[in-house]
Amino acid sequence: MSVSPLKVGIVGLGTVGQGVVRVLAKNADVIAARAGRPIVVTDVSVRTANAKRDCVLDGIRVHATPEAVVAADVDVVCELIGGTELAHDLILAALAGGKSVVTANKALIAERGNALIAEANARGLSLAFEAAVAGGIPIIKVLREGLTANAIDSLAGIINGTSNYILTQMTAKGQSFADALADAQKLGYAEADPTFDVEGIDAAHKLTILASIAFGTPLNFAAVATEGLSKVHSQDIQLARELGYRIKSLGIAKRSEHGVELRVHPTLVPDEHLLAKTDGALNAVRVHGNAVGQTVYVGRGAGGEPTASAVVADLIDIARLNGAKPVVPALGFTAAALATQPSLSIEAVESAYYLRLTVADEPGVLRALTSILAEADISIEAILQKEPEDFDDARIAIITSVISGSRFDAALERIRALPFVRADMSRLRVEHFE
């Protein structure tokens, strides 16, 4: 007896939607063999009917509105339009109609996912979102299934390809932030308005999801502290390299007896660490579990087919269920086991620091600086002094010991007040992953 196919409706036929159509077509046989049944796209919605597309729509019903796809005779709705308001309403409508949902919408899951997951659970349906984080890297499955035997205490990742491309260009070619951003926009890595990428908001959405699954907490986007790239100067890139580090924009989540810390910011990473070697638009995520130790996952974090790979993986999981209730919780823990944990403020978070100062070239400068740090019980792990070249001032770069943000900032205020310290300075966090 033949097995009925899983019928899929795609809302939004952009880069990822077209990728899903292509992947399902070219890998149809292996997908059916793994899922136990064929998976076919029967309905799609498009904004422009006659637009040129890189996929074949023969035999697929094309609708002018996403609501029509949700109302169609499909088993699963793929929400690939982005945004939060319309996508939220479409997902609720699909669930109300008895249809499972696959989405790549990290902002929606991070900001409103708790209620949507609860709605799907109440109806015995799947709400799957592997494609919401790190594109083709199956990091959600890694955390939710592959590392399920571990208590995970930390994770850190390059989870925004645009930021990684910009920092790579600044490092490899000596470009300024503005020039590297302009190149990213020309290549399509960055939007005309790049705020979500370069200010850490996109990465914060993704970190929210990863931390929830890693630590068994409800999604809490409001707890993520973010810092963008615009303050990273080419001087910092060069000085970091001389000190043995690369600067990467990381999303970092840690759990301790004091609570959970969630932060996205430019970070100095030791040269030898794999995260430091992940360049261009690639993504990489480092996870530390108490049984497995450190593991690192690297791959393409965006693009049509890498992201479609994650969407189709979710579709295969749903096809395997064959109408049964999901057996793997969306956030990796049963709803009853999810527990809110205290969130540490960014001022309470402890890390090492990189400090770049521009100072007058005169006697006693280093002694005054080191005295202030010593009085704050801040050790200096490394120091680099650059003598004046075409200007009168010197530059000093310092790597400190691990200290809370509040204590470091208090010492920094005293340093700022010194008469020989110029306004031009930089302060970045350092992670050694020990």
Average pLDDT for consecutive 10-residue bins of the chain (434 residues)?
87 95 97 97 92 92 97 98 95 98 98 98 98 96 97 97 95 93 89 92 98 98 95 93 97 95 98 96 96 96 92 98 94 96 96 96 92 96 84 89 96 96 94 89
Class of domain 141-300 as given by CATH = alpha beta
Q: Quick one: pLDDT at residue 49?
A: 80
- Relative to beta strand 421-430, strand 350-360 is antiparallel
The whole-number pLDDT of residue 1 equals 42
β-strands 225-226, 259-270 pairing: parallel
List, as one string, the DSSP characters of 58-120.
Answer: TT-EEESSHHHHHHSS-SEEEE-S-SSHHHHHHHHHHHHTT-EEEE--HHHHHHHHHHHHHHH
Q: Report the alpha-carbon distance of residue 37 to residue 31 in Å, rounded.
A: 8
Residue reference for tokens 């615009």: 230
Cα–Cα separations (whole angstroms), residue 124 to 8, 390, 408: 18, 69, 50
Residue 50: predicted pLDDT = 81
Active site residues: 206
Q: How confident is the model at residue 144, as a pLDDT? A: 97
pTM given for the model: 0.96
Quote the pLDDT of residue 189.
Answer: 86
63 neighbors 44 (Cβ within 8 angstroms): yes
Burial status of residue 384 (CB atoms within 10 A of its CB: 0-12, 13-18, 19 or more)? middle
Kindly report the CATH number that applies to the domain delimited by 350-430. 3.30.70.260
Architecture of the domain defined by 6-138+304-321? 3-Layer(aba) Sandwich (3.40)
What is the residue extent of each domain of the chain? Answer: 6-138+304-321, 141-300, 350-430
- pLDDT for 188 equals 83
